[in-house]
Chain A
Amino acid sequence: MATIAVNDLPDGRRIVALDGRLDASTVRVLWPQAHEALAQAPGKPVTVDAAKVDYCDGAGVALLVDLVAQERGATVEVANLAPAFQALFNQFDPRRLSQELDPEARRRPAIEELGRAAAAVWKDIAEQVTFIGEITAALFYAVLRPQTVRWKDVWRVCERVGADALPIVALISFLLGMILAFQSAVPMKRFGAEIFVADLIGLSMLRELGPLMTAILLAGRSGAAFAAEIGTMRVNQEVDALTTMGLDPVRFLVTPRIIAALLMTPLLVLFSMLVGLVGGAITMTSFSIPVVTFMKEVDSAVTLTDFLAGFVKSFVFAILIAGIGCLRGLQTAAGASAVGESATRAVVSGIILLVVVDGIFAVTYYVLNI
């Protein structure tokens, strides 16, 4: 409990007497009262009498400091504070604390922000091109000297990228096949053409959706993991340690991940294609099309070229996912939030690149009549 009493002396001085315990619970009430006592006596010198203050913690000292720092055309002084509390009070310079020593940076003009964003995009593109060169050199080096590759790391990453991703790839591909079949079979049934759903599922799963969906899943799963893993190493200065030991981070960290992704992504794409067809076939049984009939129709509609057109993409997608994940990891800045930002950037730029490259594949196949 604490109270405040105001007394004006004949010499024009105002006494603001504080009594009791000054801590957060009492200062909450006293703060506006004390400031009002000062505001009511503009130009008058004020003495804050703390003789009856029997406890004063940080909140109490803050009140005294703030009163002394008030700019009101006359002085405010604190008197009779017990020596222990006076020592605490003396640690602070009220004038200094009332100044803004480290103001937050003012927001830049919009045009400057735009210019900075454009420069950042340009710098990022330049870094990606440089990184492609570094990866290419590192992969050539790995092919010429396979004994320099850390195969133990490769197999470890293979397990995480490949085997561990199998359930989610299976689930999504199965549901994708089912949904595609169901959504297309309902309208096609009106024309008695539901058998051609098998053609649609076969072509779309093998040429487009199998590789693309698998790649998007891997970008979210493994690309983000690569970025977070390497980003954490960057924050912990492990990447700096590699560099100062004369070990190239790209060769040491990126090559095993790209090799693992190159080995596992095509296998996962094959698996996705197969499971997608199974999903479609199961759905079509409810439209009175047996699995055998469905598979025969797929066989007649899909050529080896269609399969290879989709399968080839998986190698390119693997390099994109692993490459962008590792690049974002290596670009990680300082701070705890930086790793999260790197993982997010890995997923976003990975998916954008996948879709763009898939579009390039589609145009190329069209031009080449594949």
Chain B
Amino acid sequence: MAANDPLAAAGPPRRPLGDVLIEVEDLFAGYDGTAILDNVNFKVHAGEVFGILGGSGGGKSTILKHMIGLVPPVSGRVRFGGEDIVGADGDELERIRRRFGVMYQSGALFGSMTLLENVRLPIEVYTGLPEDAMTLIARMKLALVGLDAFTGHLPSEISGGMQKRAGIARAMALDPSILFLDEPSSGLDPITSATLDATVRRLAESLGVTFVIVTHDLPSVFASIDRVVLLDKKARGIIAEGDPRELRDSSPDPRVRAFFRREPEKAAA
């Protein structure tokens, strides 16, 4: 492979794994009696950038919805530091959810609010900081994703990629210890995508933020993710887990190597 090939990237330096932060145990998911995921198990460690990978329809977004407590699985458990989010309700669910931020695929910004107001909203609700501080923090989060010159714009006045970046800024508003990003680089240009990858690494390394990223953007995977699980539609579960670069180079499973090398005839479904 060429030296500058993003699929051959060496990636971030290997870091020792921290304590287990999220545990997904015996997860079974499906719709209308059809199983999508059967007996899925994995752990996410504190401070790591963790990727959920797989082809379309493999259940990546379904796992994410179960992990953030939006949709309960058919069976199984998702624990945050020992607390099970499945079956939690009311105050308990809210308390667990305050520990993480979520960036949705489309950005999911509130259409009637400016970008600054969108990012400021969770800060207003939860921190009680002085007005100046709240505004400055919101502006800083927008600056992190390159949108500090668009603070007064409404979501409808900016592009889809910019909406996504603003969604990331809002997810980071309260400096959560865990950030879930659903397809963060889709719709972004390569430069913005690379900037976002660098931001993810910086936050993970300097603040110890744990990232769970659903993606199939391989250059981003190799540039920023420490560990991945690879889902397979036919297997209805995980077919590989580990460092994406090692899986690309030396996985014994040809489907896994093919996925990371973008070889359609051998790849996982």
Contact = CB atoms under 8 A, between A and B. Distances in A.
Interface of A: 23-25, 27-28, 31-32, 57-59, 61-63, 65-66, 84-85, 87-88, 91-93, 96-97, 101-105, 333-338
A88 B207 contact: yes
B129 A28 contact: yes
A101 B149 contact: yes
B208 to A, nearest CB: 9
B151 interface: yes
A103 B151 CA distance: 8
20 contacts: A24-B123, A27-B133, A28-B130, A58-B140, A59-B127, A62-B136, A63-B133, A65-B140, A66-B133, A87-B202, A88-B206, A92-B140, A96-B148, A97-B143, A102-B150, A104-B114, A104-B152, A336-B111, A337-B112, A338-B156
Contact of B128 (A28, A93, A102): A28
Nearest to A333: B156
B114 A91 contact: no
Q: Which residue among A32, A59, A97 has the maximum number of chain B CB atoms within 10 Å of its CB? A: A59
Interface of B: 111-112, 114, 123, 126-130, 132-133, 136-137, 139-141, 143-144, 148-156, 172-175, 202, 205-207
B136 A97 contact: yes
* 9 nearest A-B pairs in the assembled complex, by CB-CB distance: A335-B156, A57-B175, A336-B111, A102-B152, A24-B127, A84-B206, A101-B149, A104-B152, A58-B175
B168 to A, nearest CB: 13
Contacts of B140: 58, 61-62, 65, 92, 97
A58 B152 contact: no
Contact of A59 (B148, B153, B155, B175): B175
Contacts of B206: 84-85, 87-88
Given A87-B206, A335-B154, A336-B111, A58 B130 contact: no
A59 B151 contact: no
Given A28-B128, A61-B140, A335-B156, A101 B148 contact: yes
Given A58-B141, A88-B207, A102-B152, 8 more contacts: A27-B129, A28-B133, A59-B129, A59-B133, A101-B148, A101-B151, A335-B154, A335-B156
Contacts of A31: 129-130, 132-133
B153 A102 contact: yes
Contacts of B112: 337
Given A24-B127, A338-B156, A59 B137 contact: yes
A204 to B, nearest CB: 43
Contacts of A59: 127, 129, 133, 137, 175
A333 B148 CA distance: 25
Nearest to A96: B148
B178 to A, nearest CB: 14
B218 to A, nearest CB: 27
A336 B111 CA distance: 6
Contacts of A27: 129, 133
Contacts of A105: 152
A111 B144 CA distance: 41
A24 B174 contact: yes
Contacts of A97: 136, 139-140, 143, 148
A24 to B, nearest CB: 4
A84 B175 CA distance: 15
Contact of B207 (A25, A57, A102, A104): A57
A101 B174 CA distance: 23
Contacts of B153: 102
A91 B130 CA distance: 23
B261 to A, nearest CB: 34
